[in-house]
Structures are given as C-alpha cells and as structure tokens.
Amino acid sequence: MEQYIIKGGRPLRGEVSISGYKNAALGIIAAAIMTDETVKIENVPDISDIEILLNVLEELGAKVDRIGKHTIRINASRINTTKADSDNVRKIRGSYYLVGALLGKYNKAQIALPGGCNIGSRPIDRHIKGFDALGSEVKIEHGLICAKAEKLIGASIYFDESSVGATINVMLAASMAEGQTTLENAAKEPHVVDVANFLNSMGANIKGAGTDVIRIKGVSKLHGSEYSIIPDQIEAGTFMFAAAASMGDVLIKNVIPKHLEAFTAKLLEVGVNVEEYDDAVRVIAGNRPGSAHVKTLAYPGFLTDMQPLMTTLLSLSNGTSIVTESIFENRFKFVDELTKMGASIKVVESNTAIITGVERLTGAIVSASDLRGGAALVMAGIMAEGYTIVENVEFIERGYEDFENKMQKLGAAMAKVDSNDLKAIKKFKLKVS
Ligand code: EPZ
C-alpha cells in the first residue's frame, strides 16, 4: 500500500502551477460524447477519477486518444451501448453525468449508481426530478439509474435546493431537448459555467450559467469543438492554505482569482497576506493564524471541499474557531485523525467543529478516508513537528495531480513510498534529517 511520509516544519516557498479542474473535467468529458464529431479537450488533469471516466467512455465504444499528459481527443461516433454498469462507473461520482449526456443524445441511459467520496448520503433525487420534468421516465433498478424518453421536451424546473451535480446533469440533457428549458435556483459554481461554455462551443444554446437562472434552447445536433478546462479552484485553495499553514510564501499560478475569493477572504481574516495578480495569487504568512468562524455554503460562499483544509489551518490558530458544515453531513471524519496529531477539536451534532487552537501539531500515523480530508492530513503533516505518515493515498490521488511532486518543489519534505519498502522509508529519513 502506498503512503505519504512527511517530515513537517518546513515553510513552503516558491511557485506552483495549478492543473485543470477535476469537477469541470468530469462534466465536460461526459458532454463530449453528445456529438459524433471529434472533440479536443486541453488542460485535463492527470488524476485517477478522470482516467476512470475515460475508461468508461471507452467501455461505451467511444474512441479516446490521450495525445499528451493534459490533452485528449474524444470521438463518440461509434458508441454502441447506452448502458454502463462496470466497476469503473461505481468508483466515481462524475459517472452520473453520463445519464444526462446519453439521455440528451439517445433518449435513453442505464448507468450504475455512482460512487465517490463517502462524505454523506448523497442522494440524486434532484437529478431525477429534472429528467422527469424533461419528459423522461426514470427508475432505479438493480443498482442502475434507468432513464428513457420518447423525446425530451424543454421544461421549467425549479430546484428546491441548489445542486451542482443536478444542475450540470439536467443542463446536459436539456441542451438537446426540444424547446426551451429554464433551470431556476441553479448552482452557480465555476464548473457549472465551464460545462455550459463547453456545450455552447459544441453548438448548444445555454444562457445565464453562473447565475441562478439558466435558460437553455435545445438543439438537435452538437458538433466538434476544441476547449481548455478552467483551473482547479480546490487545488489552488489547497496550496493557498498549505502555504499559510506552513507559514510560507507561495505564488500559486494558473488560477482565476475570482474563484478563490471566499478562501482569500478567510485567509485575510486570520491574518495571512494574499496578493492577487491577473492569473496568480501569492500567499505570505509569518505568524500563527488568528481564529475565525466559517460556514460552508454554495458558491460564492465558502466551498465545502475546502472545509477540511480550513479546519486544519484553524487547529493551529491563536484562539477558538467554529466551523459549520452545511452541505454534507459526514465531512468531519478526518478530525479523528487530526486529533492524533494533537489538534483540539470537538465535533458536535456531526456538523459543527469547535476548534481550540494549539501551538503545534506533532507527527503521527493517520489515514485518509476521502479526497479533501486526505489532503488536509497531508497539510497537517507539513505543519507538524516530526514525521507523519498518511495512509490510503489513493483517495488523494483521485483529485490532486502530482501532489507530492508539487509539494516537494515547494520545499516540503514529503515522499510517496510503499508501506513495506522499509529501505525507501529509511532513505527518506536520512535525506531529510
Ligand atoms: C459536487 O458534488 C462535487 N463533486 C463535490 O466535490 C462538491 O463537494 C459538491 O459538488 C459541492 O460543491 C463533483 O463535482 C463530482 P451537490 P455533488 O449536488 O454534485 C444534496 C470533491 O471532493 N443533494 O451540489 O454531489 C447533497 O447531498 C467532491 O471534489 C440532494 O439532496 O454535490 C448535498 O447535501 C466531493 N439531492 C447538497 O445537495 C440531489 O439530487 C449539494 O450536493 C443532489 C444533491
């Protein structure tokens, strides 16, 4: 089993370049099968969740050319089934976008219920409600989402509560429905906008993405396109917080600073200096952070994915902080691990963490149980005194490209080793001691 070994206590310094946005890439890659013409996508992150989705496309019969580390070409003219039921489908969350994409193009889809990080119950009722409204019949049978329609007809759909996944999924299907669809209380996250922009580049007619009302005029055909995915706001936020937590000075390049505003605001609030440039941010921290209260919200509020990083940063703060998770009910699992490193955090009613800042964390053996919680444990290892081992790195590799290399380049003493490779562990310890 692979694990990260980290010797903490070194401030991160230097520059890091951010990869393409995983959560946009998942929607865009699914959308790419909605045309029979070739689509070229650039700035695709080289991470396991994306590789799995590309494998699913191949299982459906699409041709996928990986023409560079970050560039792919997809041609879906030879898709020979609308059913995807493999283990790959169940491993990731983003496979559910194939329901919207296949339903839009072929009026039918049978897709295994998706997997993804275990951070709460994660129902898909809002997706189903949207597909229903477009005139399709949707059933869950034998672990598959089965959707079919004579034809899809545009409709007015109001989401009781905003959902990124449901907004993207219904937008995919509606872009090829007959007539106009209006999505109200739509999610406004940057990846919703990126998927809409990509669909528009293929000939779709979508207006208003990024606001809470999206208007879609269905088209009968989509065409080929070349498109570059936006930078990953969560990867950028992770490096911003790691720079702050290590009391370092890091220039984070290839970002859209507007997407990072909620993180920047919190860093400024706890006394960290953030400079904004056109497509970069520099985070400079000299002292322990101050305390803060944070509540996760839909965009443009403070993103739930950044909550574990924020909680971990605040574990070192000078004071008491309260972090409230309002999106997913099970996103404080990493806290048990963090307390093994000396953090003083009490989780009450499963969605509120009361954090009493401590002066230092100390290294320990900890285990990642989801993507962002795992990244937070790596950040804790970088902040801590002594050696930390983070087990189950496969969770982290789902969403962070070259994580240990990027951290190493910033000066972190960190390596990925096999837990049985005692020689490699010894070598690492000799190198960093
Ligand atoms: C997306 O998940 C992201 N995943 C998540 O990132 C992210 O945390 C989340 O949006 C919020 O920003 C992908 O893009 C693949 P939602 P998604 O639908 O689409 C409830 C990561 O680490 N809900 O906006 O699943 C749901 O339970 C991942 O990169 C319903 O009740 O999130 C949650 O409480 C983890 N019924 C809330 O809405 C539904 O039909 C928001 O979920 C849909 C959602």
- Nearest ligand 1 atom to alpha carbon 22: 29
Arithmetic mean of pLDDT, 381-395: 96
**Average pLDDT value for the chain:** 96
Instruction: Give yes or no for a contact between 193 and 171, defined as CB atoms under 8 angstroms apart.
Output: no
Pocket of ligand 1 contains residue 127 by CB under 6 Å: yes
Proportion of the chain above pLDDT 70, given as a percent: 100
Using the mean position of ligand 1's atoms as its centre, give its distance from the Cα of residue 205 in Å.
Answer: 25
Predicted confidence at residue 329, as pLDDT, reads 85
Atom of ligand 1 nearest to the CA of 187: 24
304 close to ligand 1 (CB < 6 Angstrom): yes
- Does residue 118 carry a pLDDT above 90? no
Please, what are the domains in the chain?
2-19+231-432 (3.65.10.10), 22-228 (3.65.10.10)
Atom of ligand 1 nearest to the CA of 399: 29
pLDDT in tens, 293-306: 999 999 999 999 99
Contacts of 50 (CB under 8 A, 6+ apart): 22, 25, 26, 29, 44
Q: Is residue 29 in contact with ligand 1, taking CB distance under 6 Å?
A: no
pLDDT of residue 280: 98
What does the pLDDT average to over 180-192?
98
The pLDDT of residue 159: 96
Residue 117 has pLDDT above 90, yes or no: no
Instruction: Determine the pLDDT at residue 114.
Output: 87
Would you say residue 121 has pLDDT above 80?
no
- CA–chain centroid gap for 333, Å, is 18
Across the beta sheet with 137-141, what order do the strands follow?
A: 83-84, 108-112, 144-148, 137-141
Q: Is the pLDDT of residue 195 over 80?
A: yes
For atom 27 of ligand 1, the residue with the nearest CA is 122
- The pLDDT tens digits of the residues spanning 142-177 come to 989 999 999 999 999 999 999 999 999 999 999 999
- Find out whether 170 and 131 touch, Cβ atoms under 8 Å: yes
Average pLDDT over residues 303-324: 97
pLDDT in tens, 33-85: 999 999 999 999 999 999 999 999 999 999 999 999 999 999 999 999 999 99
Q: Write out the H or E segment, with its range, that includes residue 23.
A: helix 22-31
